């Protein structure tokens, strides 16, 4: 991956289950952190539209065909709105990387899905295909890239700490939209 590749980072603010929708923020940046575009859409809390909304946001920005990497801070948005990472990669041509601080507890996630959703199986199918690997202080899963490309992309987009700068910015904007001020850890 070249040093100044374009990436798009997606984030929502803190989940409020009393709401029907939340802001979904996308930040397009040239590595490591040169901000080029910000787009905002809405995503359904606990819905199944995250993948569609992410694709729509990406198509709205002029740099969409040049984006090589998609970043998220989980494989869900707005609660359990699961991202179909395979479809996202297929339709955008960009690699997908999701990072979290703690490896997800698959059994606890499955139990939560069963307790909350009648059609939990579809969500579980999408979530259970991810293998999380530790890279430094974070756990990572990806689609459409190999481990070396992922490590290089994270190194090239991370300015301080272990969170890629475009993802940190997207999360700050998303929490500011939802709560009026940015706060909290990104991952």
Write out pLDDT tens, residues 149-162. 999 999 999 999 89
25-55 residue pLDDT tens:
999 999 988 999 999 999 999 999 999 999 9
SS3 140: strand
Question: For residue 1, is it within any domain?
Answer: no
76-95 residue pLDDT tens:
999 999 999 999 999 999 99
Q: What is the DSSP-derived secondary structure letter of residue 46? A: T
**Amino acid 16: pLDDT:** 86
Number of domains in the chain: 1
Mean confidence (pLDDT) of the chain? 94
Which residue range(s) make up the domain with 28?
Answer: 6-179
Among candidate residues 146, 132, 63, 72, the one with its CA nearest the CA of residue 103: 132
Question: For residue 186, is it within any domain?
Answer: no
**Amino acid 182: pLDDT:** 84
Sign of CA dihedral 142, 144, 148, 152: negative
Is pLDDT of 187 > 70?
no
Q: Which ranges constitute the DSSP H helices of the chain?
A: 50-60, 85-92, 106-116, 120-128, 147-157, 165-179
Which CATH number fits the domain that encloses residue 99?
A: 3.30.2170.10
**Amino acid 78: pLDDT:** 96
Question: For residue 19, is it within any domain?
Answer: yes
Question: For residue 187, is it within any domain?
Answer: no
90-137 residue pLDDT tens:
999 999 999 999 999 999 999 999 999 999 999 999 999 999 999 999
CA-CA distance, 65 to 47, in Å (whole number)? 27
Structure token digits, residue 105: 């507890």
Question: For residue 185, is it within any domain?
Answer: no
Between strands 21-30 and 34-44, the pairing is antiparallel
- 132: which residues sit within 8 A by CB, 6+ positions away? 100, 103, 104, 139, 140, 141
CA-CA distance, 92 to 88, in Å (whole number)? 6
Is pLDDT of 186 > 90?
no
Is pLDDT of 75 > 70?
yes
Among candidate residues 63, 46, 47, 45, the one with its CA nearest the CA of residue 9: 63
Place of tokens 């199986």: 121
Question: For residue 184, is it within any domain?
Answer: no
- Model confidence pTM above 0.75: yes
Is pLDDT of 20 > 90?
yes
Question: For residue 85, is it within any domain?
Answer: yes
184 phi-psi bin (left φ>0, alpha ψ -120 to 50, beta other): left
Question: For residue 138, is it within any domain?
Answer: yes
């Amino acid at each position: 991956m070249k040093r100044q590749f374009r990436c798009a980072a997606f984030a929502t603010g803190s989940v409020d289950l009393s709401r029907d929708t939340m802001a979904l923020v996308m930040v397009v940046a040239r590595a490591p952190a040169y901000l080029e575009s910000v787009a905002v859409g809405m995503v359904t809390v606990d819905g199944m539209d995250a993948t569609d909304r992410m694709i729509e946001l990406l198509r709205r920005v002029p740099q969409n065909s040049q984006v090589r990497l998609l970043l998220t801070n989980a494989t869900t948005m707005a609660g359990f709105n699961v991202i179909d990472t395979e479809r996202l990669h297929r339709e955008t041509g960009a690699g997908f990387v999701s990072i979290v601080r703690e490896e997800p507890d698959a059994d606890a996630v499955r139990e939560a899905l069963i307790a909350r959703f009648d059609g939990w199986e579809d969500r579980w199918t999408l979530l259970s295909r991810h293998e999380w690997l530790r890279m430094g202080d974070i756990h990572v899963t990806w689609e459409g890239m190999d481990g070396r490309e992922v490590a290089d992309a994270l190194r090239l987009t991370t300015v301080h700490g272990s969170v890629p700068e475009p993802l940190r910015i997207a999360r700050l904007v998303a929490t500011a939209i939802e709560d009026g001020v940015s706060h909290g850890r990104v991952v």
